[in-house]
């Protein structure tokens, strides 16, 4: 298949690669540039494990072709913090035990990063609704809800 050149920014760093037009963004991130923190859980856009932030809004990287991301700015889990210094959402997940096996966790954290920027998250119902696009099979969600409640409170009302 004819390869095409794309340039995009991931976590503030620019990448240029020759890719097949059919390459999924999730495969691009994981295989082309080695950022394996973005996980693939279903490949049909339901589970949300592959969620990244694309030009400021959360997106399913398994339903996005890499070539569609040409010229965009992408944030992934690796851009939010590191083992020495967790990002704020990551820290809240740790404090509230919002993860067990950790596989869905990057997708949740990226979705929540978006939600905190754009959604009121003032009630538990709103928080659960905001989280309902991501599947976690381990936690039963309660500890994740607790983490988001704290983050939303800390953020205050949306401006």
Partner 1 sequence: MSHNDHSVELRPKLVGERVKRTEDPRFLTGVGRYVDDMSPAGMLHVALRRSDQPHARIIGIDVGEAFSVPGVVAIYDASDLDKDVKPAIPTSRMPGYYATPIWPLARGKVRYVGEPVVAIVAESRYAAEDALEHINIEYEPLPFAIRQVDAVKDDAPLLHEEAGTNTIIRREFKRGDVDTAFENAPVTVKGRFRMTRKTAVAMENRSYLAEWDQRKQSLTLHTSSGSPGIIRDVLSGCLDLPGTRLRVIAPDVGGSFGAKGSLYSEEMLVCILARKLARPVKYVSDRLEDLSGTSQAFDELIEAELAVTQDGTLIGLRADVIGDVGAYSIYPWTAALETVQVVSFLPGPYRMEHYRGRIRGVLTPKPPTGPYRGVGRPSSTFAMERLIEMAARKIGMDPVEFRRRNLVRAEEFPYRTASGIIWDKSAFQECLQGACDFVDYPNLVRERDAARKAGRWVGIGLASYAELTGIGSRISVAPGMPINTGTETSRIEIDATGAITAAFGLSSHGQGLETTLAQVIVDELGCKLEDIEVKHGDSSLVPMSSGTYASRSAVLGGGAATLAARVVKAKVLRAAAYLMEQSIEDLDIYDGIIASRNSNQTLTLKEVASAVYTQMGRIPRDQREDLTASETYDPYLGTACSSTHLTMVEVDTETYGVRILRYVVAEDCGKIINPMIVDGQVHGAVAQGIGAALLEEIVHDDQGQVVTASLADYLVPVATSVPNIGIVHIEADLPNNVGGFRGMGEGGTIGAPAAVANAVSDALSHLGVSVETLPVTPERIFQMLRDTNTPRSANST
The piece of 28-36, 66-74, 113-121, 150-158 that touches partner 1 (CB under 8 A) is 28-36
Using CB under 8 A as the binding rule, whether residue 77 contacts partner 1 is answered as yes
Strand pairing category for 73-75 and 51-54 = antiparallel
Q: Exposed (0-12), middle (13-18) or buried (19+): which is 159, by Cβ within 10 Å? A: exposed
CB of 55 to partner 1, least distance (A): 20
Residues 6 or more apart whose CB falls under 8 angstroms from that of 152 comprise 116, 120, 121, 122, 127
Is residue 64 close enough to count as binding partner 1 by CB under 8 A? Answer: no
Report, in Å, the least distance between residue 16 CB and partner 1: 20
**Contact with partner 1 (CB under 8 A) among 6, 19, 25, 35:** 35
User: Minimum distance from CB of 21 to partner 1 (Å)?
Assistant: 12
The three state secondary structure string of 1-24 is CCCEEEEEEECCEEEEEEECCCCE
| 46 contributes a contact to partner 1 by CB under 8 A | yes
Smallest distance, Å, CB 15 to partner 1? 17
């Amino acid at each position: 298949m004819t390869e095409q050149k794309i340039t995009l920014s991931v976590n503030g760093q620019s990448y240029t690669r020759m890719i097949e037009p059919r390459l999924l963004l999730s495969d691009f991130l994981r295989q082309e540039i080695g950022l394996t923190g973005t996980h693939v859980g279903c490949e049909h856009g339901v589970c949300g494990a592959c969620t990244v932030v694309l030009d400021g809004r959360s997106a399913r990287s398994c339903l996005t072709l890499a070539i569609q991301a040409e010229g965009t700015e992408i944030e992934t889990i690796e851009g939010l913090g590191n083992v020495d210094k967790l990002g704020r959402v990551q820290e809240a997940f740790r404090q509230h035990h919002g993860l067990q096996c950790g596989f869905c966790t990057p997708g949740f954290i990226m979705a929540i990063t978006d939600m905190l920027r754009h959604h009121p998250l003032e009630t538990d119902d709103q928080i659960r609704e905001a989280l309902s696009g991501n599947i976690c099979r381990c936690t039963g969600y309660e500890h994740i809800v607790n983490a988001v409640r704290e983050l939303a409170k800390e953020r205050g009302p949306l401006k």
